[in-house]
Structure 1
Amino acid sequence: MRGSPWQYVSKLKQVFHLSGFRAPHDGIDIVVIPGLWVHHTVEKESKRCSWLKILAASTDYDTRVFIFKYDIEPGKDGSVWHPLLGLSRVLLDALRQARPCESQKRPLYFICHSLGGIILKQALYLAHHSYPAIRNALSGIIFLATPHLTSIDDERWEKWRLILKAFQRNVPKTALGL
């Protein structure tokens, strides 16, 4: 992202592709977006027989499973929200590259954990206008422990600041706009 004060290290990595004798146009794509700072365990798990492999093998389709690996550094004020939301465009661009024209009609499913769901929510907001192929392919989402805030209550934001502080030291109140 040109001009962005944050550095993104991200990668959409295909971890499984179970096709057998199935036609590629009948396939599905599953994208896993882990929570912040937990992508290393998901990558290790993908190397052995994990729930992802069982999930992919349980379909009758040509199934590709991707993991969106990312790492961000908090901004100068300790905020991780702006870099986290910025990853949504990185995710969309990576999906566009991983899904060439002939596979854009493949149904697209997401499994998101924790703050990885925030990345997807922002990505879907952007996809509505700028990424119609991704928007149209969206077929399902599973959110696991993803925050769904519907209030501007300061007490809830303080709780989220404390959760982030458990993972990252020195998260100031300004990190969540307080």
Structure 2
Amino acid sequence: MASKVFRISGLPPQTDTNTLREALGLKQEDIINIKAISPCCSDPATKVAIVEFGQGPPSYLKDMIEGHKSDHQVEMAGCDDLNIDMNFYGLAQLYATPHKADISADIVAVTSIAGHAFGSWRGRGNLRRMWLQDFLQKDLPNCRTMIFGYNSKLDSPGIHQIEDYRDNLLTELKKARVSGEEQSRPIIFIGHSFGGIIITQALVKSRDTKPSSDPDINAIHKATYATLFFGTPHRGFNVESLTKMLKIVSFYETIKSQTPEKVNKGFERIGGYQLSVSKTSALLNPPEGEITVCVNEDHTHLVKFDSKQRSAYSDTILNLKRFERAPPGLPAASASLIPTMPPIIPVPHILPASPTVPGSPGINNQTPFRDAYPELQSLQPPLKSRRYYTRIPKGKLEAERKRQQAVSIIKSGSMGRIPDQGKSSFSPEDEENGEKFE
């Protein structure tokens, strides 16, 4: 099984390997692999370490590893308590950067539903490279590269909706971009599957926020220069003028993924094969055009690069380097930068009722897209029917209603279904950091 990765927050600025080992109570023979010590995104006066334990984590972390608690606190002499977690919720910087004035861009990566902020970007090769950290710190050393984590576990008791994830992302970015220099720094988003939907929703909210109400939130969409979408189910969005100023790169998969089925201890990918996100859905096809990249992988492995020699990584870094060289004075984003959401019109959909998949964007929420997570629809038994709402253009309402009478929404893959979330075949490695599906 892959070694688990931990985040240690609240470290003093002068922290080095020795002080960290001492704070964690490690013995001389204990092995610790410090993957990064970087400034905290929300509190630059402290630092955050990302670590692995070579011979297994300390025994005092057992309850957290087994899922009995979400984090663990450690006393550090002369400083505030340290906090250790495995979930990586919020923003986490992946490697140290030069002085703030020399940072060329902020890169923000958002994983998909039921994924892990760190593990979902990690390759499956023998070296288990996490390309956003291991590759970009050498290829883009002047970029502040961050990951965003949120609670969307399939077995979570939470009732999160897409608006919660969106607002959390904006709040974390607001805390990470305080000064005038930071707010004007270009942002490059990277989104995998549902993570791309969270990004787009966040940009819509940022654009619609009046500068007089919250200038920090409004500044986010103005600073956004480009977005790389990996297998994001866009279909159903009104994107007529999305890319007048926003650069778009869309990656799409060409290999089918196995669907999960309920077993005694959760879910395993033992079902049939199907394409999680079709090419039609993964591409925006805006009038101004987009860069499209075909990837010979399934939905999960779209974002798992074992080496720099992977063709998809070559395409990724080529575009990231090009976007990093964006002019420092970005023009203010106009209203046409982000798609306008069509009005919400009630349409009856038949979906499995509670107990539902906690945190799923297509349940207990108004979703702005048409694609499906067909595999997730079978995770819970259909106890009764419910009515849900989705956003569709007014002109298509009547045709949609007629079509709904003839075709079952669950079997047809039409509007209102849960957006797709592909996964590779289940293996013990999928349980990394407590996540069964990345």
CA drift at 1:110? 0.5
Distance 1:89 1:56, change over 3 A: same
Indicate the residue corresponding to 1:16 in structure 2: 95
- The 8 Å contact of residues 161 and 176 in structure 1, kept in 2 or not, is answered as no
TM-score (norm 2): 0.32
Distance 1:170 1:24 in 2: 54
CA drift at 1:150? 2.3
Distance 1:173 1:58 in 2: 51
SS in 1 for 2:184: coil
CA drift at 1:114? 0.7
Q: Is 2:138 the partner of 1:57?
A: yes
- The 8 Å contact of residues 12 and 94 in structure 1, kept in 2 or not, is answered as yes
Whichever residue aligns with residue 97 of structure 2, its letter is: L
CA drift at 1:43? 6.7
Distance 1:92 1:170, change over 3 A: farther
Distance 1:68 1:58 in 2: 21
- The 8 Å contact of residues 25 and 106 in structure 1, kept in 2 or not, is answered as no
Q: 1:119 aligns with which of 187, 191, 198?
A: 198
TM-score (norm 1): 0.71
- The 8 Å contact of residues 18 and 57 in structure 1, kept in 2 or not, is answered as no
CA drift at 1:164? 2.9
Superposition map of 1:152-171 within 5 A: 160-165=372-377, 168-170=379-381
Q: 1:150 aligns with which of 227, 233, 236?
A: 236
CA drift at 1:72? 3.4
Distance 1:175 1:24 in 2: 52
Deviations 1:89-127 (A, max 9, x none): 110010010111131111100100011111111101101
Computing the radius of gyration from Cα coordinates, the structure with the larger value is 2
Structure in which a larger fraction of residues adopt helix: 1
Alpha-carbon RMSD: 3.7
SS in 1 for 2:169: helix
Q: Is 2:109 the partner of 1:32?
A: yes
- The 8 Å contact of residues 117 and 147 in structure 2, kept in 1 or not, is answered as no
CA drift at 1:169? 3.2
Paired residues in the alignment total 160
Indicate the residue corresponding to 1:6 in structure 2: none
Indicate the residue corresponding to 2:161 in structure 1: 83
Q: 1:98 aligns with which of 176, 186, 189?
A: 176
Distance 1:114 1:17 in 2: 27
Distance 1:170 1:11, change over 3 A: farther
Distance 1:33 1:146 in 2: 11
- The 8 Å contact of residues 89 and 123 in structure 1, kept in 2 or not, is answered as yes
